[in-house]
A and B are shown apart, each in its own frame.
Chain A
Amino acid sequence: MVGLLLYLALGIGLLVFLWALARRKGAPVEGCGRQFVEARQALRTLQFGLLPENLIQRIFDPEDFRYVTAASSGKIGELFLQERTRISLMWVRRVRSEIRNLMHFHLAYSRLHAKLSLLTEIRLALDFALLLMACRAMRILLYLRGPYGARSMVRVLTATAGRVCAASEKSLAFLNTPALESFRRDSAGHGAAI
């Protein structure tokens, strides 16, 4: 009976897969230069848009909340807290989105490499999946505990922001030097700056 259920599940699962394949809308086939630009944009968004020290402090520092509660009524403080929670949740959502962009960038290049390592790819896939799940868990945490429930975040983020920049630049360096001019030409039509 268990065997029968397994075979039925396999047959039905395959049909579901096929349904998804038939309904899949084709992603645009992007040029190499465009992918490069998007990867760099994802990194820049993380480096300069989402992880700068002043932005993190502005969102997660409880000082603003203390000032608002001291200077106004409790209702205003409550409103402020709601807004900060909304902003912090938005921040996590954006970080998650940029991680997804980086993942897509990795997949777009690794699929073309003949020397791809199966184990490495599986490990990276698990890493990405865990990281994305962690983002989801963090959203829940921020939703439940509010934006000031994780105060050590500012310190850690400030310390690691530099590492992110260095690691990202290094990982894109192999694409950068030999073909920069062609990428620039390829991406010029979209008006994107490298």
Chain B
Amino acid sequence: MLSLLLWPAGLLIELLLLVRSVQTKTFTKYIYFYAYISCVFIVSAGLFIGHSRLEFYEAWYWPTQFATLAMGCAVVLEIVRQALTAYPGAERFARVASWVVFAATFCYAEWHVARRTVWSTSNATVELERDLRVIEALVLATVMAIVFYYRIELGKNVTGMIVGFGAYVGVSVASLALRAFVGPRFNAGWGNLQTASYFFALIVWTVALWTYSPNPDPPGGGGGGGGYDALVDGTRARLESVRSQLGGVAR
């Protein structure tokens, strides 16, 4: 019931987001993000039109779900690109950490599948979606950790993208895990949670992306790369000095 109420409302908000992106000329600035919104809008509208015919809905739900799931990775890419592009060092950190997260999750999922003795297509589908959401969640968490650690300033647009998508992914991971554990009995709850969290994300995106608000420029200086070794050497030397002093105090 909740899903049926929020579904058309979500479609309207998606349309509003897309129209607004053209008006404010932000469509090209956040191209991956709006490509995702466009993809979800087309898929949702198609499913909404055909949802009264059960066989149509069942035949198209999972293929389109995977299309939007794959496009969700584009939102993560957009977030990394927009949040860290002005900070090459932090961006490099995020890129390497994201690959490590991806490889570790992929290996874990493979190992998990290899151990399984009983195979069920519906469960495998849910688990695949859950694992992909886990990768998105971990990459988002990594990016946020880097943003906090390096004290990177984010604009309203990117903050909104992260909060909206992160909330949706976080709720998806938890609800998909419960769905995999409880089984089909949890389908109704799972559907409502997914729809409500996506609706929340849409509201956050609409508010955050109503006007163009880019990230503040980082303070000038540095960035050349030539001074990094000197910076690290200097920081290490200072750390050593202070540590030896503190060691002396503790004795």
Residues in A lying within 8 Å of B, measured CB to CB: 1, 3-4, 7-8, 10-15, 17-18, 20-22, 24, 26-27, 29-32, 34-36, 43, 46, 51, 92, 95, 99, 102, 104, 106-118, 120-121, 124-125, 127-128, 130-131, 134-135, 137-138, 141, 150, 152-153, 155-157, 160-161, 163-164, 167-168, 170-175, 179
Whether A31 and B151, one on each chain, are in contact in the complex, defined by CB atoms closer than 8 angstroms, is no
Whether B174 and A8, one on each chain, are in contact in the complex, defined by CB atoms closer than 8 angstroms, is yes
Query: Chain B interface residue count: which class?
Result: 35 or more
In the bound assembly, the distance between CA atoms of A175 and B138 in angstroms comes to 36
Shortest beta-carbon distance from B97 to chain A in Å: 7
Shortest beta-carbon distance from B69 to chain A in Å: 16
Whether B153 and A29, one on each chain, are in contact in the complex, defined by CB atoms closer than 8 angstroms, is yes
Cross-interface CB contact of A116 among B166, B177, B228, cutoff 8 Å: B228
Among all A-B residue pairs, the 7 with the closest Cβ atoms:
A171-B234, A156-B248, A11-B174, A7-B177, A116-B89, A167-B237, A32-B221
B209-251 CB contacts (< 8 Å) to partner A? 216-225, 227-228, 230-251
Whether A121 and B93, one on each chain, are in contact in the complex, defined by CB atoms closer than 8 angstroms, is yes
Which chain A residues lie closer than 8 Å to B243 at the CB level? Answer: 127, 130-131, 134
Shortest beta-carbon distance from B102 to chain A in Å: 15
| Contact A108:B241 (CB < 8 A) given known A10-B137, A18-B166 | no
Interchain Cβ contacts under 8 Å between A and B, 7 examples:
A7-B174, A8-B177, A31-B220, A120-B232, A124-B236, A150-B249, A163-B244
Cross-interface CB contact of B245 among A21, A51, A125, A171, cutoff 8 Å: A51
Whether, in the assembled complex, B42 has its beta carbon less than 8 Å from a beta carbon of chain A, the answer is: no
Cross-interface CB contact of B149 among A107, A114, A138, A175, cutoff 8 Å: A107
| Contact A111:B163 (CB < 8 A) given known A14-B137, A118-B97, A134-B250 | no
Whether, in the assembled complex, B61 has its beta carbon less than 8 Å from a beta carbon of chain A, the answer is: no
Whether A118 and B151, one on each chain, are in contact in the complex, defined by CB atoms closer than 8 angstroms, is no
Which chain B residues lie closer than 8 Å to A107 at the CB level? Answer: 149-151
Which chain A residues lie closer than 8 Å to B178 at the CB level? Answer: 4, 8
Whether A14 and B169, one on each chain, are in contact in the complex, defined by CB atoms closer than 8 angstroms, is yes
In the bound assembly, the distance between CA atoms of A15 and B175 in angstroms comes to 13
Residues in B lying within 8 Å of A, measured CB to CB: 87-90, 92-93, 96-97, 112, 130, 134, 137-138, 140-141, 144-145, 147-153, 159, 162-163, 166-167, 169-178, 180-181, 216-225, 227-228, 230-251
Counting residue pairs across A and B whose Cβ atoms lie within 8 Å, the total is 240
Interface of A, helix, strand, loop or mixed by DSSP: helix
Whether B225 and A113, one on each chain, are in contact in the complex, defined by CB atoms closer than 8 angstroms, is yes
Whether A102 and B238, one on each chain, are in contact in the complex, defined by CB atoms closer than 8 angstroms, is yes
Whether A11 and B219, one on each chain, are in contact in the complex, defined by CB atoms closer than 8 angstroms, is no
Which chain A residues lie closer than 8 Å to B162 at the CB level? Answer: 18, 21
Shortest beta-carbon distance from A29 to chain B in Å: 5
In the bound assembly, the distance between CA atoms of A124 and B230 in angstroms comes to 14
Whether A21 and B159, one on each chain, are in contact in the complex, defined by CB atoms closer than 8 angstroms, is yes
Whether A10 and B248, one on each chain, are in contact in the complex, defined by CB atoms closer than 8 angstroms, is no
Which chain B residues lie closer than 8 Å to A92 at the CB level? Answer: 249
Cross-interface CB contact of A22 among B141, B159, B250, cutoff 8 Å: B159
Cross-interface CB contact of A171 among B151, B220, B230, cutoff 8 Å: B230
Whether B173 and A113, one on each chain, are in contact in the complex, defined by CB atoms closer than 8 angstroms, is no
In the bound assembly, the distance between CA atoms of A137 and B250 in angstroms comes to 9
Chain B residue nearest to A17 (CB atoms) is: B144
Whether B92 and A116, one on each chain, are in contact in the complex, defined by CB atoms closer than 8 angstroms, is yes
Which chain A residues lie closer than 8 Å to B249 at the CB level? Answer: 92, 138, 150, 153, 156-157
In the bound assembly, the distance between CA atoms of A18 and B174 in angstroms comes to 15
Whether A112 and B138, one on each chain, are in contact in the complex, defined by CB atoms closer than 8 angstroms, is no
Which chain A residues lie closer than 8 Å to B238 at the CB level? Answer: 43, 102, 164, 167-168, 171
Shortest beta-carbon distance from B91 to chain A in Å: 8
| Contact A21:B147 (CB < 8 A) given known A167-B234, A171-B238 | yes
Whether A127 and B173, one on each chain, are in contact in the complex, defined by CB atoms closer than 8 angstroms, is no
Which chain B residues lie closer than 8 Å to A137 at the CB level? Answer: 250
